[in-house]
């Protein structure tokens, strides 16, 4: 179920007259308050070492429990995408990443608590000399290091990640 059916009352005046004009737009019939449903922002990073291996995490929680993913997560209020990504990388892997470059963005949905939230995933890439000192953080069951040529997109937890990896591979072939 999407988040739209959950919005039954106006957040400003509490009126139950809060119908959806579209799947992403509600307008209160009593106070004219408008609510737009926009995606949450998340960032993830394909981190490469000097041997062209990629660091992935094995997800500890649903959605995608047990699947592989590039480290990342939701961006907090007040953070830039880059700062949120660096925080998530520290939390999930212990790595301090300074130089990152934008790869692509992909729409996604995130199933949580019985609802599907719209998300805009921002993908980056970064390079470190090695993965020494990296560790599996709280939301990660394991770190997985694989040669870039051996990553099958189907191993990645979400369609957005699969698309981002294919995007990376098609651009890497041209470089």
Q: Kindly report, residue by residue over 69-79, the tens digit of the pLDDT.
A: 999 999 999 99
Residues 143 and 91 both lie in one domain: yes
Q: What is the pLDDT of residue 56?
A: 98
Average pLDDT over residues 16-40: 94
For residue 28, the enclosing domain spans: 4-36
Residues 78 and 145 both lie in one domain: yes
Residue 98 has pLDDT above 90, yes or no: no
Residues 24 and 60 both lie in one domain: no
Tell me, what DSSP letter sits at residue 149?
A: G
Q: What is the pLDDT of residue 171?
A: 87
Model's pTM, two decimal places?
Answer: 0.90
**First-last CA distance in the chain:** 42
Contact 159, 69 (CB under 8 A): no
Residue 1 has pLDDT above 60, yes or no: no
- Segment holding 36, helix H or strand E: strand 34-36
Residues 95 and 79 both lie in one domain: yes
What φ, ψ does residue 161 adopt, rounded to 5°? Answer: -70, -40
Q: Kindly report, residue by residue over 102-161, the tens digit of the pLDDT.
A: 999 999 999 888 888 999 999 999 999 999 999 999 889 999 999 999 999 999 999 999
Count of domains for the chain: 2
Residue 142 CB neighbours (<10 A): 12
Residues 133 and 157 both lie in one domain: yes
Contact 126, 55 (CB under 8 A): no
Residues 58 and 26 both lie in one domain: no
Specify the 3-state DSSP secondary structure of 2: strand
Residues 85 and 64 both lie in one domain: yes
- What is the four-CA torsion angle of 151, 153, 154, 159, rounded to 10 degrees? 150
Residues 70 and 14 both lie in one domain: no
């Amino acid at each position: 179920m999407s988040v739209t059916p959950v919005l039954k009352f106006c957040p400003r005046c509490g009126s139950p007259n809060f119908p959806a004009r579209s799947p992403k737009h509600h307008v209160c019939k009593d106070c004219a308050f408008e609510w737009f449903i926009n995606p949450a922002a998340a960032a993830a990073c394909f981190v490469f070492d000097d041997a062209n291996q990629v660091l992935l995490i094995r997800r500890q929680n649903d959605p995608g429990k047990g699947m592989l993913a590039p480290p990342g997560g939701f961006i907090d209020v007040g953070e830039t995408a880059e700062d949120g990504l660096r925080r998530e990388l520290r939390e999930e892997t212990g790595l301090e990443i300074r130089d990152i470059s934008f790869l692509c963005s992909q729409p996604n949905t995130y199933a949580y608590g019985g609802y599907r939230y719209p998300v805009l995933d921002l993908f980056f890439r970064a390079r470190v000399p090695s993965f020494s000192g990296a560790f599996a953080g709280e939301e990660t069951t394991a770190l997985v290091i694989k040669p870039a040529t051996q990553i099958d997109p189907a191993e990645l937890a979400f369609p957005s990640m699969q698309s981002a990896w294919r995007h990376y591979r098609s651009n890497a072939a041209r470089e």
